Amino acid sequence: MGHSPTRTGQESSFRHHKASHVLKGLASNPHDLTIEGNLSPTRIERFSAQAGEFKLLYGTERVNDDVMHTLKELSHEAHLIDKMEAMQRGDVLNKIDGFPSENREVLHTAMRDFFMHPNQGKGAMKATAAAKAECNKLKAFMSKVDQEGKFTDIIQIGIGGSDLGPRALYVALQAYKKHGRVAHFISNVDPDDTAAVLRSIDPKKTLVVVVSKSGGTLETLTNESLVRAFFEKSGCKPEEHFLAVTGEGSPMDNPERYLASFYIWDFIGGRYSVTSMVGGVMLAFSLGFDQYMNILKGAHEMDRIALNHDFDQNLPLIGAMLGIWNRNFLHYPTVAVLPYSQALLRFPAHLQQCNMESNGKRIDKQGNPVDFDTGAIIWGEPGTNGQHSFYQLIHQGTNVVPCEFIGFRESQYQEDLNVQGSLSQEKLLSNLFAQSIALAKGQKSDNPNKVFPGNRPNSILLGKRLDPFTLGSLLSYYENKIAFQGFCWNINSFDQEGVQLGKKLANKIIDQFSAKRQGKKAEKFPEAEALLRHLESL
Ligand code: G6Q
């Protein structure tokens, strides 16, 4: 059994920092965006920051100079950049002191640290070298695939971190796909997920990449078996089509069963793994190896920005502190991520995992229950579609939902038409800006049903065009923002104990199904048995 060490120095709760007390006072009277003139052009200019390919516009948040200054102070008092440096150089941050825990480094940034000023931390250098070796292997493999020209499709089998990020990036980069290449995804253990994909492919022309860091995930192994059986039935040898991405020494680390195997390591959290081989194999196949490299370059650029000691240029840190302001001082429980880019259709789903699995925690890094709110509930959909759906609640509902808009000056395909005096891209961006201003300023009216209360905080992350490089940067912006918030709360953003209990109980219920089929008795589980009786009575 462990014990709960007391917190000291860098580990003390953010609530006890001097800046937190000041922020608490400031939160009693946050900037009122609804007063005429309070959302001025000067303000929009002043509360903006630029780094790499992005601008962050946050004049529509409920902040003023004092708040921003004190959030910066809080980031210093909580040593957030020091912690980011520790993470990127390979210190063991994934742990709970005094208790059994994963006890690992957190080195997803090393997966893309090949380009400029590689990190000199011992752990980081080792991880980068290993990642580089896998990249070289992937490059050689893909050039062989290109030469042979046998394959047109790839199926990625994986779930959670081995699915959401890769899928979100693939969907976002359709405009950059290699001619004649398509990716499909199977994640759910629902047999319909597999059946639907298998109906749409020709196995002779299809690669299958099975992605599981642990090599032991129920859904993934089950789906691999289903797809293998389908390939065998179709007269295709699985070892000529199946690829593996897994941890060294995992049950899936069996190169003879696969055409090629690639590694990932335990210091890469699943939800942070998209830039490793977890996303790399499918992305290099469908976009080309060079575009995969461009994603890594963009991510690396933002990783470097996250280390910038100049608060005003450190976009992920500013984003993180604005989030802390909304969560811990204005006490808003959710955040909507609203990309004005159809290509980012699956991006909020990826962020949901990345953010909520990382920061949905109730104890600190010393094992003590926290006495403040941690990760917000993340959700979202692309605009303008969302406007015709849930924006009603965002504008006039009883809960205030801070919104993070994402937009791009140019469209991806650059295929647009002037309809009634404007391009579609202009209409899209006009809607984004209109929503941001409407949420902030609100509207007065004699008709209560037409009153918009305003003061609904939001920010806009603006880029030039969504391409592989900027998408890599966007991904890293959020990964680092999430990590900064976890550092500030002194929680472990890199484990996920909360998903274990359900898995354990599901396995016990699976045993009930198997036992029944074999006419045997399974271990007693009265609550589940009661539920199963309902199922059987249908
Ligand atoms: C992410 C989680 C989790 C994980 C999946 C798949 O951080 O760890 O979502 O990615 O459970 O795990 P495997 O890759 O081991 O199959």
| Closest Cα to atom 14 of ligand 1 | 212
Pick from 339, 379, 340: nearest CA to 356: 379
Q: How many CB atoms are closer than 10 A to CB 366?
A: 20
Return the amino acid letter for 322: L
HSE (CB half, 13 Å, CA atoms) of 56?
Answer: 23
User: Residue 5's pLDDT is what?
Assistant: 47
Tokens coding 227: 């797809």
Quote the ligand 1 centre to 91 CA distance (angstroms).
22
Quote the ligand 1 centre to 85 CA distance (angstroms).
25
For residue 232, give the 3-state DSSP assignment.
helix
State the maximum Cα–Cα separation within the chain, in Å, rounded to a whole number.
Answer: 76
CB 47 within 8 A of CB 59: yes
Strands (E), 314-393: 334-339, 377-379
Quote the ligand 1 centre to 108 CA distance (angstroms).
14
**Burial state string for 507-518 with b = 16 or more CB within 10 A and e = fewer than 16:** eebeebeeeeee
Strands (E), 140-181: 153-157
Tokens coding 413: 């395909």
| Closest Cα to atom 16 of ligand 1 | 212
| Cα–chain center distance at 347 | 7
User: Residue 61's pLDDT is what?
Assistant: 98
User: Residue 2's pLDDT is what?
Assistant: 43
- Predicted TM-score of the model (pTM): 0.96
User: Residue 116's pLDDT is what?
Assistant: 82
Question: Rounded to the nearest 10 degrees, how much is the dihedral formed by the CA atoms of 127, 365, 380, 296?
Answer: -10
CA distances from 216 to 257, 302, 353, 380, 401 (A): 16, 33, 20, 31, 38
- Of 156, 167, 214, the residue with max ligand 1 atoms within 8 A of its CB, to mutate for a pocket test, comes to 214
* Per-residue pLDDT of the chain in tens (538 residues, 90 and over written 9): 344 445 444 556 788 899 999 999 999 999 999 999 999 999 999 999 999 999 999 999 999 999 999 999 999 999 999 999 999 999 999 999 999 999 999 999 999 999 988 999 999 999 999 999 999 999 999 999 999 999 999 999 999 999 999 999 999 999 999 999 999 999 999 999 999 999 999 999 999 999 999 999 999 999 999 999 999 999 999 999 999 999 999 999 999 999 999 999 999 999 999 999 999 999 999 999 999 999 999 999 999 999 999 999 999 999 999 999 999 999 999 999 999 999 999 999 999 999 999 999 999 999 999 999 999 999 999 999 999 999 999 999 999 999 999 999 999 999 999 999 999 999 999 999 999 999 999 999 999 999 999 999 999 999 999 999 999 999 999 999 999 999 999 999 999 999 999 999 999 999 999 999 999 999 999 999 999 999 999 9
Quote the ligand 1 centre to 536 CA distance (angstroms).
32
User: Residue 11's pLDDT is what?
Assistant: 58
Ligand 1 closest atom vs CA 158: 16
| Closest Cα to atom 8 of ligand 1 | 270
Q: How many CB atoms are closer than 10 A to CB 63?
A: 25
Ligand 1 closest atom vs CA 214: 15
Quote the ligand 1 centre to 1 CA distance (angstroms).
26
Quote the ligand 1 centre to 499 CA distance (angstroms).
10
Q: How many CB atoms are closer than 10 A to CB 326?
A: 26
Dist CA 5 CA 449 (whole Å): 54
Ligand 1 closest atom vs CA 269: 7
Ligand 1 closest atom vs CA 250: 15
Give the strand pairing for 242-247 and 334-339: unpaired
Return the amino acid letter for 41: P
Catalytic residue positions, numbered:
357, 388, 503
- Number of residues written out for the chain: 538
CA distances from 195 to 181, 188, 208, 289, 408 (A): 21, 11, 15, 29, 37
- Of 102, 108, 159, the residue with max ligand 1 atoms within 8 A of its CB, to mutate for a pocket test, comes to 159
Ligand 1 closest atom vs CA 246: 14
Name all residues whose Cβ lies below 6 A of ligand 1.
159-162, 212-214, 217, 220, 269-271, 357, 496
- Of 223, 271, 275, the residue with max ligand 1 atoms within 8 A of its CB, to mutate for a pocket test, comes to 271
